[in-house]
Amino acid sequence: MTPEDFESWSRRAADWGARYRRTLGDRPVRARTDAGEIYRAIPAEPPQTGEEMAAIFEDFENIILPGMTHWQHPRFFAYFPANAAPVSVVAEYLVTAMAAQCMLWQTSPAATELETRMMEWLRDAVGLPGTFSGVIQDSASSATLAAMLVMRERALDWQGNVRGLAGGPAPRVYCSDQVHSSIDRAAWVSGIGQDNLIKLPAEASGAMPPDALDAAIRADFAAGHRPAGVVACVGGTSTGASDDIRAVVEVAQRHALYVHVDAAWAGAAMICPEFRDIWAGVEQADSVVFNPHKWLGASFDCSAHLVRDPETLVKTLAIQPEYLKTHGQDGVIDYSEWSIPLGRRFRALKLWFLLRFHGLEGLRGIIRDHVRWSGNLCERLRATEGVEIVTEPALSLFSFRRAGATDDETIAHLRTINDEGRIYLTQTRVGDRIAIRFQAGSHAMTEADTGIAYDAILDGFGLSAGTAG
Ligand SMILES: *Cc1c(COP(=O)(O)O)cnc(C)c1O
């Protein structure tokens, strides 16, 4: 591509992105294509000779775009959000243009040093003490895997990497049954294994019972296992359940276990001091992850992994082959030693742009609005005859269903609502029954969007809007 073409197509892409964001609210939130439709529209063979950019761009709009679910849509109320604030998109464009490999300090000092500063900004913003240091991981799943590897190595006297796990005592990790599937996968991949991930049934509050945790650890020590760590959860994906972090840490410290806190979604809300009750005691944890790429607005991928003692992480993950050594650069950080992949994108730039452009007060305002608007919608639904609130709001997440609906009916309601397209919701299981989740988190959303959500839900339930509420 000539420099002139690069310039003009970059402009085209930027114009397209701006128009896309401006008109997003007019599109159905979820893709409406059938399985296999996009695949069949793409030729089986790549072209042997280059094609015109105009044709490629046109196919992007005609073939790809209809198959996209619009995560930046103002009425994306499914899963958790994956906001990419416009300012972070601008920063990502610069990162993509530079395309630096930021594995070592010397492979881009600015990327490393900005990352250190941004993790300090975020640490302070969520109220963690200055003794924590941070690294940007690609995802919360990776941060949790790294933390579980530290648990394993600590428990095995740093011999697991060398000897493997076969034959030795089994390291065991404890959590509630409300944790994200990434905790299970971290147990599989770390070699700890599902059987050694001990899931304690949560109490009605959603928290793991500390006494049961203590009893399980004691029993495992007595049985010759090697209790290694606890993964605590703040703002679980299903209904926003949280553990009592202070109580969990107290039990874990009694047995010298490592504590990792998964606050992937809820952590962003900790920039608002009034919400910090849900992770009270977190300053005593060893490792905390939250995703600025969810609620905060830094485009995916950007996971803040904050640890009390980075030495244990580095001891677990650093390989130092000769060709990677940064001779004479004592005191510099090579973040590839803090994470599993060697290669690293420059992820700190979008955080810097985001935090400077919005300011913490600006971001707090967005999160507070979402919590308030979601709470108001919950009350409006509660006051509506025929609607049942299943779980109460945790920050901006609650669940509900049509009163008296069977699971099949709830699934059918959800399909009707999502096919109609004004909003997008997902389901979860509460106890042994299905409920519909609602979370407010799109930076593009306004209060009016909860009104549209209310109408769309009532229409989907076959209740005429305005019955009550
Ligand atoms: C989203 C989420 C995860 C997974 O995050 P990734 O960054 O996609 O790996 C893990 N735990 C919780 C509680 C989450 O909400």
- 417-441 pLDDT tens trace: 999 999 999 999 999 999 999 999 9
Minimal-distance CA residue to ligand 1 atom 5:
140
Residues 6 or more apart whose Cβ sits within 8 Å of residue 79: 237, 426, 439
For ligand 1, whether the C-beta of 197 sits within 6 Å is no
CA of 301 to the centre of ligand 1 (A): 11
Please say if the pLDDT value at position 54 is more than 70: yes
What integer is the mean pLDDT of 224-232?
A: 97
CA of 141 to the centre of ligand 1 (A): 6
Tell me the backbone φ, ψ of residue 249, rounded to 5 degrees. Answer: -65, -40
- Going 423 to 429 to 435 to 439, the CA torsion angle's sign is negative
> What ligand 1 atom has the least distance to the C-alpha of 293?
7
Q: Which of 126, 129, 277 is nearest to 207 (CA)?
A: 277
CA of 231 to the centre of ligand 1 (A): 13
For ligand 1, whether the C-beta of 137 sits within 6 Å is no
Q: For 322-333, what is each residue's pLDDT tens digit?
A: 665 655 556 789
**In whole angstroms, how far apart are CA 102 and each of 111, 333, 345, 349?**
6, 11, 6, 12
Of all residues in the chain, the percent with pLDDT exceeding 90 is 94
417 φ/ψ sector (left φ>0, alpha ψ -120 to 50, else beta): alpha
CA distance 12 to 61: 12
Residues 6 or more apart whose Cβ sits within 8 Å of residue 167: none
Q: For 120-138, what is each residue's pLDDT tens digit?
A: 999 999 999 999 999 999 9
Q: Which of 354, 353, 308, 317 is nearest to 335 (CA)?
A: 317
**In whole angstroms, how far apart are CA 89 and each of 125, 349, 417?**
22, 10, 30
Minimal-distance CA residue to ligand 1 atom 8:
139
Give all domains of the chain, ordered by start, each with its CATH number: 3-81 (1.20.1340.10), 101-345 (3.40.640.10)
**397: which strand partners?**
394, 439
For ligand 1, whether the C-beta of 238 sits within 6 Å is no
Please say if the pLDDT value at position 464 is more than 90: no
CA distance 407 to 392: 20
- Per-residue pLDDT band for 469 (boundaries 50, 70, 90) equals very low
Q: Can you give the pLDDT at residue 169?
A: 87
Look at strands 258-262 and 287-290 and give their pairing. Answer: parallel
For ligand 1, whether the C-beta of 336 sits within 6 Å is no
For ligand 1, whether the C-beta of 264 sits within 6 Å is yes
Look at strands 303-307 and 387-394 and give their pairing. Answer: unpaired
Q: For 169-209, what is each residue's pLDDT tens digit?
A: 889 999 999 999 999 999 999 999 999 999 999 999 999 99
Please say if the pLDDT value at position 115 is more than 70: yes
Q: Can you give the pLDDT at residue 167?
A: 82
CA of 298 to the centre of ligand 1 (A): 15
CA of 264 to the centre of ligand 1 (A): 5
| Mutational test site, ligand 1, from 71, 83, 137, 141, max ligand atoms within 8 Å of CB | 141
Is residue 265 within 8 Å of 180, Cβ to Cβ?
Answer: no
CA distance 226 to 156: 8
For ligand 1, whether the C-beta of 265 sits within 6 Å is yes
**427: which strand partners?**
436
CA of 58 to the centre of ligand 1 (A): 34
Residues 6 or more apart whose Cβ sits within 8 Å of residue 390: 239, 398, 399, 400, 401, 430, 433, 435
143 φ/ψ sector (left φ>0, alpha ψ -120 to 50, else beta): alpha
Name all contacts of 459-463 with Cβ < 8 Å and 24+ positions apart: 459/417, 459/420, 460/413, 460/414, 460/416, 460/417, 460/420, 461/386, 461/387, 461/402, 461/413, 462/402, 463/384, 463/385, 463/386, 463/387, 463/402
CA of 56 to the centre of ligand 1 (A): 34
For ligand 1, whether the C-beta of 237 sits within 6 Å is yes
> What ligand 1 atom has the least distance to the C-alpha of 301?
7
For ligand 1, whether the C-beta of 108 sits within 6 Å is no
What integer is the mean pLDDT of 386-407?
A: 98
Is residue 269 within 8 Å of 371, Cβ to Cβ?
Answer: yes
Q: Can you give the pLDDT at residue 327?
A: 54
For ligand 1, whether the C-beta of 180 sits within 6 Å is yes
Tell me the backbone φ, ψ of residue 387, rounded to 5 degrees. Answer: -115, 140
CA distance 296 to 82: 9
Please say if the pLDDT value at position 67 is more than 60: yes
What integer is the mean pLDDT of 265-271?
A: 98
> What ligand 1 atom has the least distance to the C-alpha of 180?
11
Is residue 104 within 8 Å of 286, Cβ to Cβ?
Answer: no
CA of 256 to the centre of ligand 1 (A): 26
The tokens 């416009």 sit on which residue? Answer: 86
- The helix/strand/coil state of 137 is strand
CA of 403 to the centre of ligand 1 (A): 30
What integer is the mean pLDDT of 361-390?
A: 98
CA distance 419 to 438: 16
CA distance 180 to 80: 12
| Mutational test site, ligand 1, from 71, 182, 288, max ligand atoms within 8 Å of CB | 182
Q: In the chain, count H helices and then E strands.
A: 14, 11
CA of 140 to the centre of ligand 1 (A): 5
Q: What is the mean pLDDT of the chain?
A: 95
Count of alpha carbons within 13 angstroms of residue 403, beta-carbon side: 10
Minimal-distance CA residue to ligand 1 atom 14:
264
For ligand 1, whether the C-beta of 439 sits within 6 Å is no
Q: Which of 220, 245, 153 is nearest to 191 (CA)?
A: 153
Is residue 82 within 8 Å of 294, Cβ to Cβ?
Answer: yes
- Per-residue pLDDT band for 319 (boundaries 50, 70, 90) equals confident
